[in-house]
Structure 1
Amino acid sequence: MDPKSSALNIPSTSIPKNRDFFIHLEAYLAKRDGVDKLLKISRYAAKFILASSVLPSNLPLTDRLKSFESSVGVSRKAFRLGKFVQVVNAFRGLSPFTSVAHLLLGLVVYGGEGAYYFVEQFVWLGKAGLIDKKHLSQLQRISAWCELIGYIGSVILKVKELQKIGEDEAGVVSSIEIAAVGGVARLEDGEKLRKLREKKLMKRLSIVQDFADALMAVDDIQDGKGLVSGKLLLSSAGLLSALISTHKNWVSC
C-alpha cells in the first residue's frame, strides 16, 4: 500500500529524464519504498511460480521458494516500521481550504492507511516471535480491514482527481485549437498537455494498483476462504501491484 498523496503518485517534472542509469538506480535503492517494492516483486513472483504449478511439488526448489516467499513477506513488514508517520504527515499536508467532503474523504484514505501501517508493526512483531502468535489472526484481520477501507477511499479520491485532470486536459486542448486557428502555436501549451496526459496515465495505473491490492485485502479478511481466494489470481494481482508501484517509485525518484 502506498501513501495516497498526489505528490507521491505523480512523477516529478523537475527530475532530469536522461540521468545515468546507475545514478538513478542508486537514488531508487536509497529510498525505503524502492527496496520494499523490489522485495514485493520478488515475493509475488515466487508466489506466482508456486501457484502456477510450473515446478513439481516434490522438487527441493519448490520448498526453497516457499521459504523464500515467507521470509520476504516478514522482511517487508520490518521495512514498514514507523511508516504510519509518513501517512500522518500526508494528511496534515492537506490544504485547510479544501472542501469538507474532500477533507472527510482524505480522513478515510489516510486514516485507513495509517491504521493499517500501525497495526502491521504488531503483526511483524508477532511473526518475529516477540508477541504471542495467538494474537496474529486477529491483528491481521484488523490490518486487512483498515487496508481495505483505505483503498476504497483512495479509489474514490483518485477517480475524482482523474475527472479534474480530464477537465484540465480538455481546456488545454481547446486552447491549442484556438491558437492553431489564429496561426499561433505555443510550446508551453504542448508541454502542459503532455504533462497532463502523463499525470492521467499515472493516476489510472494507481487506481488499477489499488484494485489489485484491495483484492488481496478482501482475501485476508476472508482468511483465504472466499470467492477471490484463488492462489493464481491473488499472486497475479500482487505481481501486477508490485510492478505498477515499482514503476511509480522509479519515475518519481
Structure 2
Amino acid sequence: YYPRNQKIPVALTLLKHVKKSNKVFTRFIIINNTQKSFTLTTTSTMNDTVDKLVIFLAKRDGIDKLVKTFQYVSKLVNWQVETTHPDLANRFKQWEVSSGLSRKAFRTGRFLTGFNGLRRNPGATPTFKFLAVLANAGEMVYFFFDHFLWLSRIGTLDAKLAKRMSFISAFGESFGYIFFIVSDLIIMKQGVEAERKLIALQQEEENSKDAKEKIRKIRGDRVMRLMAVAANVADLIIAAAEIEPNPFCNHPLSLGISGLVSAWAGWYRNWPS
C-alpha cells in the first residue's frame, strides 16, 4: 500500500503490491507517467465499516464448511446405526444438532454480505443486476431470519417461533439460490462461447500466449462456478425439505449427501490457492 503522491517503480510493481495487499482498490488515477516511474495521485479503498465487517465475517467460511461436514457426516452415521446401536446413534444425533447450532452462531451478521454485494458490485448488465438483486435479497432474508431460528432453538426466544422462522429462512434461501444458479449458468455459457472464439484464434495465431492465458482463466472460473452451482443445488434440496416436506428431500440419505456436496464444494472454492 503506497501513500498518496508517493513515487513507485514501474506499473508491474504496483500491480503486484495491489494483489498482495489486503486492501481492495476500487479505482486509481495515475499521472506523470514516465519510462521509469509514475505517481499515484488518487486512491479509493473499500475500507468503510460495512466492508471491514464483511471481510471479518468472511473469514468464518472455512470453519463453517468444516462444521457442516461434521453435521452431515453425523447425520448419515445416525441414520445408519439408529436401529442397531441406539446409544451410539443418539451421540451422533447430538453432534449433528450441536454442529447445526454452532454454524448458525458463526453466521451472525452474514446478511450484510448480500447487502454489501449489491452496494459494491450489483452486476455489469441490467440482466445481471436484476438477478443479483433477487439472489442477494433471498440470501439476506435467509441469514437474517436464521438469527431468530438460532435464538429460538437455544431457548433465548420462544421455542414456538422456531418452526415459523425456519420456514421463512428456508424460503429466502431457496429463492436466492435459484437466481444464483441462473446467474452462474449464464456466465458459464458466455465463457464457453468466449473459449471457442479464443481456440479458433489460437489456431490461426500459433503460440498465442495471451489466448492460452485467457482460456486458462475461463476454465478456472468455470470450475469454480460449477462448484457453486453444485453447492446451491444441494442446499436447495435441503431448503425444500423444510419448505415442503417430502419422502425424497427429507430422507436422511438425501439430506446427508446434499449437505456433504455443499460442504465439500465450499471447501474447494474457499481453499487457499
Separation in structure 1 between the aligned mates of residue 267 and residue 161 of structure 2, nearest angstrom: 32
Residue 115 of structure 2 corresponds to which residue in structure 1?
88
Residue 34 of structure 2 corresponds to which residue in structure 1?
none
Q: Tell me the SS of whatever aligns to 1:133.
A: coil
Separation in structure 2 between the aligned mates of residue 99 and residue 189 of structure 1, nearest angstrom: 25
Deviations 1:212-240 (A, max 9, x none): 11001000112x44542211111111111
State the 1:114 CA deviation. Answer: 0.8
Change (3 A) 1:119 1:248: same
From 25, 36, 39, the counterpart of 2:67: 39
Deviations 1:89-142 (A, max 9, x none): 01112257x333322211110000011001101111111211000111011000
Residue 191 of structure 2 corresponds to which residue in structure 1?
165
Deviates more, 1:102-111 or 1:224-233: 224-233
Q: What is the 5 A alignment of 1:104-183?
A: 104-180=130-206
Residue 69 of structure 1 corresponds to which residue in structure 2?
96
Change (3 A) 1:87 1:46: same
Residue 253 of structure 2 corresponds to which residue in structure 1?
232
Residue 21 of structure 1 corresponds to which residue in structure 2?
none
What is the number of equivalent residue pairs in this alignment?
A: 218
Q: What letter corresponds to residue 213 of structure 1 in structure 2?
A: D
- 2:231, 2:261 within 8 Å by CA — same for their partners in 1? yes
Normalising by structure 1, report the TM-score: 0.80
What is the identity percentage for the equivalent residue pairs of Structure 1 and Structure 2? 31
Residue 7 of structure 1 corresponds to which residue in structure 2?
none
Deviates more, 1:74-83 or 1:162-171: 162-171
Runs of 4 or more off by more than 4 Å in structure 1?
54-57
Unaligned runs of 5+ in 1: 1-13, 16-29
Residue 247 of structure 1 corresponds to which residue in structure 2?
268
State the 1:160 CA deviation. Answer: 0.7
Separation in structure 2 between the aligned mates of residue 57 and residue 32 of structure 1, nearest angstrom: 37
Structure with the higher fraction of residues in helix conformation: 1
Unaligned runs of 5+ in 2: 1-18, 21-57
Higher relative contact order (CA 8 A, sep 6+): 1
Deviations 1:32-82 (A, max 9, x none): 10111100011111112222x156543432211111110010000000100
Structure with the higher fraction of residues in strand conformation: 2
Separation in structure 1 between the aligned mates of residue 72 and residue 225 of structure 2, nearest angstrom: 23
Q: CA RMSD in A?
A: 1.9
